[in-house]
Structure 1
Amino acid sequence: MSTPPADLTLEDIQLNDGYDIDKIMDHFKKEGRLEKKAVSDILKRAAKLLAAEPNLIEVEAPCVIFGDLHGQFYDLANILLDYPQPSETHMLFLGDYVDRGYFGSENVLLLMAMKVTYPQRMHLLRGNHECRLLTTYFNFRQECCFKYGDHIYNEVMKTFDCLPICALLHSELGKFFCVHGGISPNLNSLQDINKFNRFREPPGAGLFCDLLWSDPIDESIYSKLTDKQKEEWQHITFTENKVRGCSYCYGFQGVDEFLKKNEITSIIRAHEVQKEGCNLHYFNRDDITHPLVMTLFTSPNYCDVYDNDGAVLVLLDNELSFLSYNAVPHPFWLPKFQNGISYSLPIFCDTLNAVAKKVYAFSLYSDFVDEDDDKPIKFALQDEPPKKEIKAPVVINKPIEKPKKGISVEDFLQPLDLNSTENDNNSFRKAASRSRSFVDRLPSGIVQRKRPENRPRCCTFSMKGQFNSTFDRFSFTITASPRFEEAKTKDAENEKRPAELEDLKKQWGIDDN
């Protein structure tokens, strides 16, 4: 195992008025870090730029849009090879840069450095994980404090408070409303977005909360409904979001009214893992020619167990395409960033305790003599000794663990080995056969090759022309994956909004003083 390189200083990464992005990215790939002075400089300069932007920013096509990244820096770096800067292409990120993965710090610092270096073309929105509550509940707070300390974590949170919430994307296909979660019954017009104070911790209810937490209504149940129920389902505006434990689910009626009132073509959002990296929501309507909502998820093989593709959306002036990507290998970290000794000590104690039990049982019963012939009784040592009243054996106590914070889906499923030649049915093994030539047809400057020719990549969806009644509706089929569905089911508890931050701090004994 190679030793990580020395920390880069502020002088090492400065370039003209911004930063040397390639140098930072290559350094992070080698598991290098930045000096705290350099980290603070990036965060403060980025926060100043972000704070000057309104809650609702406006972006022009051509644009590449990214969904959830969740600490998967190596996958982000792999995808960014196709979109080298500088270029005239805008880049829009829909939030959730941290948590779940182990490289959220690298994601944040790289993206913030890109924002400072390319302020007019780099656009960052806030996701529901860019807050103190979820970064404490999941693993980013622990990660950031481990790598850079409490002070840097607090600076990151202040920078998150400055992130805009939504974007309006303009193209010849129309206007697209881009947001992490979705719309809200409290959202009457786009002007409402600029009226609330975003420079704070997101609340558990209201417009601010809904933009980050809401979801489209579940379309999978539609086929099981009666005709009357289907008619009622089509008229749903908003309903309780039981999966999240907060906010709402929006139905066809609510979306249709919002789009027509604000003259918007479609909603582009993230927030939900997708098997193919993207999903098109028609709300089971045969009379609409384009998806009213599009969900985008950019983290492939989410949490190392979902076996899903990641996707980005490329929006040209008159063409829209999803490009999917497969997971790449990344360095291994033990849970909770433990070292080998602290991680293995409980396992060692368990093993030693089991040995102590067997030794005690053997010493006790090997001295037992039959009263009739004074011959020792021979017996095979088993896990449980024969029933007999004996004193309790000495037990070596395990260290007391703190209450579990976020339940990891890895507790239920084994991570996929991306270096393995087995499991050829996995999507990242089959991607090469699904590759398309679409990327080669894009105008120069949108997607550029800086990778080996055999890089697996595919175009899952492409449309060109105006969205109108003459446009042929695209039929989007998602392949079933038992592993994906199993991971999603067992990970459902982590989709809920946790208790309030102060309650978590009391429960886990966190003292900010």
Structure 2
Amino acid sequence: MGTSDLDRQIEQLKRCEPLTEAEVKALCLKAMEILVDESNVQRVDAPVTICGDIHGQFYDMKELFKVGGDCPKTNYLFLGDFVDRGFYSVETFLLLLALKVRYPDRITLIRGNHESRQITQVYGFYDECLRKYGSIRVIDRKQEVPHDGAMCDLLWSDPEDAVDGWGLSPRGAGFLFGGNVVSSFNHTNNIDYICRAHQLVMEGFKWMFNNKIVTVWSAPNYCYRCGNVAAILELDENLNKQFRVFEAAPHESRGVPAKRPAPDYFL
């Protein structure tokens, strides 16, 4: 990793722009080489500016550097807890890590109690890493659906026009998400639109957020009482779309049910 690459990455991270996954891996490997050679009791020469918890508050860390001076002009000692709770733990930690690799003798990073796998899984850094660098392809689907986490969110979350970002779901599991979340997801994953189900729509299908997500519902007259129509979505070899809407089967063609259907509390 050359000096010019590091300088470019530092300037990019100062703008709160994420690095690529390959760049993150290379940066972490280089940082490991440096940190493993440091002592448990690391010597730090004065003058030095000592900094406490940052907790992912990236823009407040930028204010810190405005007050204290940029590295390497100022010699810094950070006492840990770089991540969790704030919205930008990834960018915060990567900027500090890049500065450490670029100026190893001018910045010292001490591990805090939040720099651990167990704590970050509770307080946000782990989930933030999954959102920004993870993939739904790596979720362990061979499990009972947990009460929270990526697997639960994937199965229970719903789009909502009135939500900007993320919101609490009335289902009691998962979240509501707005158009900006869908736009970001589609862009990151290089897809045109999301096709999903699991939510009753009376017309059988429903586009949202400028045709960036569509809900398809294929159970007409849901629970034999909702009065909705159903739909299926056909894609041809060129991915041209055609919705086919259909109604419930005629009453005379239905068999006699063995028992009443169970009530569905989560449409």
Superposed counterparts of 1:101-120, under 5 Å: 101-120=86-105
- What residue is the counterpart of 1:61 in the other structure? 46
Shift of 1:55: 0.8
- Is 1:397 equivalent to 2:235 in the alignment? no
| Alignment partner, residue 334 of structure 1 | 166
How does 1:47-126 map onto structure 2 within 5 Å? Answer: 47-82=32-67, 83-87=69-73, 89-126=74-111
CA contact (8 A) 1:69 1:76 kept: yes
Shift of 1:27: 3.2
What are the equivalent positions in structure 2 for 1:28-427 lying under 5 Å apart?
28=16, 32-82=17-67, 83-87=69-73, 89-149=74-134, 334=166, 339-340=177-178, 396-397=265-266
Task: Determine if contact 2:10/2:99 at 8 Å carries over to the other structure.
Answer: no
Query: Is the contact made by 1:102 and 1:333 (CA closer than 8 Å) also made in structure 2?
Result: no
SS at match of 1:96: coil
Q: Aligned partners of 2:133, 2:176: CA distance in 1, in Å?
A: 15
Counterparts of 1:477-492 in structure 2, within 5 Å, are none
Q: 1:19 aligns with which of 7, 13, 18?
A: 7
Tell me the distance in 1 between the aligned counterparts of 2:81 and 2:124: 13
Please state how far the C-alpha of 1:80 moved relative to its aligned partner: 1.2
Offset at residue 149 of structure 1 (A): 1.7
1:104 deviation in Å? 0.6
Residues 17 and 117, structure 1, Cα contact 8 Å, conserved in 2? no
Contact 1:114–1:122 (Cα < 8 Å) also in 2: yes
| Conserved 8 A contact 2:71-2:107 | no
Residues 20, 86 of structure 1: CA spacing in aligned structure 2 closer, same or farther, 3 A cutoff? farther
Deviations 1:311-363 (A, max 9, x none): xxxxxxxxxxxxxxxxxxxxx8536997327x9xxxx99xxxxxxxxxx9xxx
Instruction: Report the TM-score when normalising by structure 2.
Output: 0.51
Query: Which letter maps to 1:27?
Result: R
Gaps of 5+ in 2: 136-163, 168-173, 182-198, 201-224, 226-262
Distance 2:112 2:165 in 1: 25
Moved over 4 A (4+): 335-338
Query: Match of 1:340, as an amino acid?
Result: G
Mapped to 1, the partners of 2:8 and 2:49 lie a distance apart of 21
Q: Which amino acid aligns with 1:24?
A: Q
Which position in structure 2 is the counterpart of 1:510?
none
Distance in 1 (alpha carbons) for counterparts of 2:15 and 2:122: 29
Asked if the contact 1:143–1:337 (Cα under 8 Å) also holds between the matched residues in 2, the reply is no
Give the Cα separation in 1 of the matches to 2:96 and 2:165.
Answer: 22
Label 1:126 to 1:22 Cα distance change in 2 as closer, same or farther (>3 A): closer
CA shift, 1:22, in A, is 5.0
Q: Is the 2:84–2:125 Cα contact (8 Å) retained in structure 1?
A: yes
Q: Please state whether the residue corresponding to 2:29 is helix, strand or coil.
A: helix
2:13–2:19 CA contact under 8 A, matched in 1: no
Letter in 2 for 1:36: E
**Bigger RCO of structures 1 and 2 (CA < 8 A, at least 6 apart):** 1
Contact 2:48–2:77 (CA<8 Å) still a contact in 1? yes
Instruction: Give SS of 1:135's match.
Output: helix
Q: CA separation in 2, counterparts of 1:23 and 1:122?
A: 17
Task: Give unpaired runs (5+ residues) of structure 1.
Answer: 1-9, 151-331, 350-359, 361-393, 399-513
One-letter amino acid matched to 1:334: W
For the Cα contact (< 8 Å) 1:21–1:114, is it kept in 2? no
Q: Within 2, Cα distance between the matches of 1:337 and 1:104? A: 21
- The alpha-carbon deviation at position 17 of structure 1 amounts to 7.6
Distance apart, 1:33 and its partner CA? 1.9
CA-CA distance at 1:143 after TM superposition: 0.5
Distance across 2 between alignment mates of 1:25 and 1:43: 15
Amino acid of the structure 2 residue aligned with 1:20: R
Checking the alignment, whether the CA contact within 8 Å between 1:96 and 1:126 is kept in structure 2 is yes
Report SS of the residue matched to 1:100: coil
Instruction: For residue 107 of structure 1, report the CA deviation from its aligned partner.
Output: 1.0
Give me the whole-angstrom Cα distance separating, in 2, the residues matched to 1:73 and 1:144: 15
Alpha-carbon distance between aligned partners in 1 of 2:131 and 2:121, rounded to the nearest angstrom: 13
SS, match of residue 58 in structure 1: coil
State which structure, 1 or 2, has the greater radius of gyration over its C-alpha atoms.
1
For 1:362-404, what per-residue CA distance to the aligned partner results, in whole angstroms no more than 9, with x for missing partners?
Answer: xxxxxxxxxxxxxxxxxxxxxxxxxxxxxxxx76416xxxxxx
| CA gap 1:90/1:337 in 2 versus in 1, 3 angstroms | farther
Q: 1:53 to 1:116 in 2, by over 3 A?
A: same
Residue in 2 that maps onto 1:308 = none
The alignment's TM-score, normalised by the length of structure 1, stands at 0.28
Measure how far apart 1:18 and its partner are.
Answer: 3.7
Q: Distance in 2 between matches of 1:120 and 1:337?
A: 44
Aligned-residue offset at 1:48: 0.9
Q: Name the amino acid aligned to 2:95.
A: L
Identity over aligned pairs, percent:
37
How much does 1:24 deviate?
2.1
8 Å contact kept, 1:25–1:77: no
